[in-house]
Amino acid sequence: MSVIYHIATGASWAQARRDGEYTMSTLDKTLAQEGFIHCSDASQVAGVANAFYQGERDLLLLVIDPERVTSRVQYDLAPDQPAPYPHIYGPLNIDAVTEVRPFAPGSDGTFRFPETLLSERAVVPVPGKLRPAGMGDSGQLRRAGGELVTGSPRSARLPYIRVTGI
């Protein structure tokens, strides 16, 4: 599953859950003001957080499945940046958010991308007894029998999960 990320405040996410959609673009700017919702790939999250969110409290990292987003997702170049950033051009439907994690800086005040998110998404099909994904699973990666598995029917990149004991 390829995912994108958005840094949100606890208050803005709570409001989105009440409204059924998320409409903040970035810290203190709405979708209506900015025209899109700022997102990042895994390699961009820490840089964005350190540039724009220093000193902020009650931050969350939204893990978003772009295949579930009902608005247009587009990668755009940003000034002085080597890689394009993902942007959502419209409200973010909350069911596209597959995970919400607290996001705080380390003891030195620097934000780092949560390594657990990287390791949880570094899944490759493994040899053994396999079955097609999408058999009623939630679409989220999870631990099962000491292994990471997914059952997302939307994920062509991870089409199988390992099943043991067949």
Q: Residue 50 burial by CB count (10 A; 0-12/13-18/19+): exposed, middle or buried?
A: middle
Kindly give the confidence (pLDDT) of every residue in the chain, 166 residues in length, as a single tens digit, with 9 standing for 90 and above.
689 999 999 999 999 999 999 999 999 899 999 999 999 999 999 999 999 999 999 999 999 999 999 999 999 998 888 899 999 999 999 999 999 999 999 999 999 998 777 655 533 333 333 333 333 333 343 444 444 333 433 333 333 333 333 3
Domains in the chain (CATH in brackets) are: 4-119 (3.20.170.20), 123-166 (no CATH)
∠ CA 72-76-82, nearest 5°, is 150
Question: pTM of the entire structure?
Answer: 0.71
d(CA 33, CA 23): 10
